[in-house]
Structure 1
């Protein structure tokens, strides 16, 4: 589609129907929209299977609203914003009434009509305190068109709680394991299943946890095969990766 538009624009420039400056600006607009403070990547869905995600932390409310408005104009699929507080959500919702907020995950989702969900991703957390990061992963995966099951508070301190979820572990295509403290949960799960496990360390823990660093190192040093590790508290990254594994045709 972009190739055809580009051909027409070039023909119009060559024939004098468009000035070179106007033509160049229109060509740029095919790939990104320049808002001065942000260059919104409006072609990312075509390249990567999902539109640009808005990371709200560090942005003003007005900036988030402007980016969301531009993405909403161009995106064919759902739009996701992460690390958004309730004030930002209210501002986005005033502009785009279909926006939905998940308070635990601190995410805003703008749904673009019915979306077919496929596959099965299991998001499992070690403790209740890990749920915000787990929810970010779950919402991300759901927004990208995946069926998601949540199982929370099944850490290794009470191993029987995890073993009681064996059927769910076995039925999932991809597992996202979220844990703070010592971060042992992904290693245990990796020794029980024959599918990819995405490990997410969280910053939950006492002083020697070093803000999630100890959990991160535990997961990186796991002796269980089939485990991949994302950054500390990066539920979004885990949900995105799980989606790509679940239906790589995107």
Structure 2
């Protein structure tokens, strides 16, 4: 609800008039883009997590129209699972906006925003840990959504159980920084989230990654392993759902920072 609060505070302080406040509040309402989509600019103010556009299965033209409509109503749009071709099209189509591009290999997380916008730090800190370098594109979804929600993100890469000693330094930093929640990404056997949850006293969200060999190698084994974890501080989202894991962790961190 922070954007609504900012509008009301600006009105109370005399920085904007009633008409301007009304116009700003109207931008948070549902908007229809022809028969293509109904966008929800105010979702963040109800649920705490902004509406995110999933690029996968959309044409470049559809994606551009949806994002343009959202940018008319708010200052930024977060898009996940975009391809290189879609990003190239968007850069040519949305020339008045700035792009923060993360990931690759047709798994791009894209933050498009007005030139004068930047995420406002609101409080709380999360850590994002990956077992292997192959998990990075999924982790970047979690990091992006947490950052636009105003949460600080600590990032630790390639510290999987095949070299468990690599986890010591990240856990020391997590304790020193007073991290509120951890998102752990792992493919293969999916053991790392259980290990982390057994060593910390804060919530851990496990994200199974569709990386591995042969039978169960598309994330099924990692998911089953995490669901059967004997570490009670671990919660699990579905295979590859970096966005969901990051959003949950950020909500926990924001709540902790308010108390």
Length-normalised TM-score, structure 1: 0.82
Q: Deviations over 1:164-184 (max 9, x none)?
A: 322123232110100001100
Once the two structures are superposed, residues 181-234 of structure 1 have per-residue CA deviations (whole angstroms, 9 ceiling, x without a partner) of: 110001110111010101000111111334111100110111111111011011
- Per the TM alignment, residue 121 of structure 1 is displaced from its structure 2 partner at its CA by 1.0
Matches within 5 A, 1:26-41: 30-41=29-40
Q: Cα RMSD over matched residues?
A: 2.0
Tell me the SS of whatever aligns to 1:211: coil
Aligned residue number for residue 207 of structure 1:
214
The 5-angstrom pairing of residues 1-250 of structure 1 reads 30-76=29-75, 78-94=76-92, 95=94, 96-104=96-104, 106-112=108-114, 113-117=117-121, 118-170=123-175, 171=177, 172-248=179-255
CA contact (8 A) 1:33 1:39 kept: yes
- SS of residue matched to 1:164: helix
Mapped partners of 2:44, 2:136: distance in 1: 28
Structure 2: how far apart are the matches of 1:58 and 1:227?
A: 32
Report if aligned partners of 2:132, 2:158 keep a CA contact under 8 Å in 1: yes
The runs of 4+ residues in structure 1 deviating greater than 3 Å are: none
> Contact 1:81 / 1:108 at 8 angstroms: preserved in 2?
yes
CA-CA distance at 1:100 after TM superposition: 2.0
Number of aligned residue pairs: give it.
222
Q: 1:92 to 1:194 in 2, by over 3 A?
A: same
Per-residue deviation at 1:56?
0.3
Aligned-pair CA distance for 1:63: 0.7
For the 8 Å contact 2:97–2:113, the answer to whether it is kept is no
Counterpart CA distance in 2 for 1:93 and 1:150 is 28
Task: Tell me if structure 2 keeps the 8 A contact 1:51–1:75.
Answer: no
Structure 2 unmatched ranges of 5 or more: 5-25
